[in-house]
């Protein structure tokens, strides 16, 4: 069955015990929210999409999935397992925060087949953790990872951030060294992006946010690549590093431009050539699911041109790059028929390389990825 199954399922839990200063995901304070009503609606929407066919990956994100209490957490995992679980499932990931990942929740995840944890650490520097509004400290984070490993979770990814307010290269180095000492097989590390509707955005507009400059950010990124690869974590995507065999399967669906169900308030999905976004407000989401079985608030049929563009700027995030033969198979046109001028120009600028069947970012191109991606927008 898995040879034929290409879709994944992303399931969104919007509830948080606190709001981080940089976060622009769909989230709400958990207190006084209709959590049980939300879980009812979530199960109903799962049933709607499960009827369209099985999945090879499940990813439960947020918000903070582990903000649910143990009874709610088990109910959610039971429903997910009921609608999407099967023996050949390749990957079942749950996002977790150090401050609310209890032993009971670890046991529940083991019982319901979760085989990958994504732990939101962001930094092992306590001062930086306070600066960005996280609720845990470095000791909590280390303890959580070690408890998860003791509970039998081998496939753990640490989520880290860099270019944070007040962060120095030495502070980044210390966080990387601590992360590596925990010996997880995967690390994701993203530079801070200031998004509208966040506390940091308001501080930046008021001139109250001190960020590293672009040159320091580039130096930090170079340090990350060098340090992680030196310790056996190979960069397979712009922001992701892993030991062999531990590359994230679910996120690779996005980079390979494959389809996935988006389930939950504010979730985005891509099904049958259509990208859609669910209603964000929790009560509106519950109401729509109650009426229709799903909560689609907007949708867009992806044109062939858009699919071609996405194939390039998503696929080039991968260090392996974009397969020319796969492009021809998907679109019936050779990649150089569509993008010959752009590819030649970017190669001459040292930003792209051709390696057998693949067109990929050069070392220089990795640092200037957004400039490269923009070249593949046809309109």
CATH, residue 146: 3.80.30.20
Question: What per-residue confidence (pLDDT) applies to 203?
Answer: 86
Is 23 part of any domain?
yes
Residues 145 and 26 in one domain: yes
Four-point Cα dihedral 338, 342, 344, 346, nearest 10: -150
355 beta partners = 358
Task: Please give the tally of structural domains in the chain.
Answer: 2
Question: What per-residue confidence (pLDDT) applies to 2?
Answer: 43
Residues 141 and 240 in one domain: yes
Number of H helices, E strands in the chain: 15, 17
Question: What per-residue confidence (pLDDT) applies to 194?
Answer: 85
CATH code of the domain in which 345 resides? 1.10.10.920
Is 262 part of any domain?
no
Is 223 part of any domain?
yes
Residues 318 and 224 in one domain: no
Is 261 part of any domain?
no
Residues 100 and 193 in one domain: yes
Residues 98 and 246 in one domain: yes
Question: What per-residue confidence (pLDDT) applies to 201?
Answer: 82
Domain boundary among 217, 236, 255: 255
Residues 223 and 111 in one domain: yes
Question: What per-residue confidence (pLDDT) applies to 320?
Answer: 97
Residues 213 and 311 in one domain: no
Is 193 part of any domain?
yes
State the residue range of the domain holding 309: 304-374
Are the beta carbons of 319 and 235 closer than 8 angstroms?
yes
Question: What per-residue confidence (pLDDT) applies to 337?
Answer: 97
d(CA 12, CA 214): 33
Q: Which two tokens stand for residue 182?
A: 């925990």
Is 268 part of any domain?
no
Residues 200 and 341 in one domain: no
Is 2 part of any domain?
no
Domain boundary among 240, 255, 270: 255
Strands in the chain per DSSP E: 8-13, 15-16, 28-29, 57-62, 91-96, 116-122, 156-162, 186-191, 234-237, 240-242, 260-263, 268-271, 274-278, 296-301, 322-323, 352-355, 358-361
Residues 182 and 310 in one domain: no
Residues 210 and 315 in one domain: no
Residues 236 and 321 in one domain: no
Residues 326 and 217 in one domain: no
Question: What per-residue confidence (pLDDT) applies to 18?
Answer: 80
Is 168 part of any domain?
yes
Domain boundary among 226, 255, 284: 255
268-298 burial string, b = 16+ CB within 10 Å, else e? ebbbeeebbbbbbebeebbebbeeeebbbee
Question: What per-residue confidence (pLDDT) applies to 279?
Answer: 98
| Weakly modelled stretches of the chain, pLDDT under 50 | 1-2
Question: What per-residue confidence (pLDDT) applies to 24?
Answer: 76
């Amino acid at each position: 069955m898995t040879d034929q199954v290409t879709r994944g399922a992303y399931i969104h839990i919007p509830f948080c015990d606190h709001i981080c200063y940089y976060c622009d995901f769909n989230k709400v304070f958990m207190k006084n929210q209709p959590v049980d009503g939300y879980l009812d609606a979530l199960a109903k929407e799962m049933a709607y999409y499960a009827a369209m066919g099985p999945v090879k990956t499940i990813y439960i994100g947020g918000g903070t999935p582990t903000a649910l209490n143990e009874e709610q957490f088990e109910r959610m995992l039971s429903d997910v397992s009921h609608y999407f679980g099967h023996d050949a499932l390749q990957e079942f990931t749950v996002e977790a925060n150090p401050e609310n990942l209890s032993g009971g929740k670890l046991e529940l995840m083991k019982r319901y087949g979760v085989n990958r944890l994504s732990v939101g650490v962001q930094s092992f520097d306590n001062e930086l953790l306070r600066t960005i509004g996280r609720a845990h400290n470095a000791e909590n984070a280390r303890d959580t990872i070690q408890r998860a490993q003791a509970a039998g979770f081998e496939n753990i990814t640490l989520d880290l951030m860099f270019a944070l307010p007040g962060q120095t290269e030495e502070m980044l180095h210390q966080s990387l060294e601590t992360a590596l000492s925990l010996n997880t097989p995967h690390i994701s590390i993203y530079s801070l992006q200031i998004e509208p509707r966040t506390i940091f955005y308001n501080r930046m507009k008021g001139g109250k946010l001190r960020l590293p400059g672009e040159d320091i950010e580039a130096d930090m990124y170079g340090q990350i690549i060098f340090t992680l690869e030196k310790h056996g974590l190979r960069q397979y995507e712009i922001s992701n590093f892993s030991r062999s065999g531990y590359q994230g399967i679910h996120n690779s669906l996005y980079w390979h431009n494959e389809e996935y169900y988006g389930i939950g308030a504010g979730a985005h999905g891509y099904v049958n050539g259509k990208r859609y976004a669910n209603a964000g407000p929790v009560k509106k989401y519950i109401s729509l699911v109650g009426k229709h079985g799903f909560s689609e608030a907007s949708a867009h049929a992806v044109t062939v041109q858009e699919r071609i563009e996405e194939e390039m700027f998503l696929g080039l995030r991968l260090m392996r790059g974009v397969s020319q033969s796969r492009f021809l198979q998907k679109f019936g046109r050779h990649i150089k028929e569509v993008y010959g001028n752009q590819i030649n120009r970017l190669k001459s600028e040292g930003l792209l390389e051709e390696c057998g069947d693949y067109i990929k970012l050069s070392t220089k191109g990795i640092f200037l990825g957004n400039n490269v991606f923009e070249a593949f927008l046809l309109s």
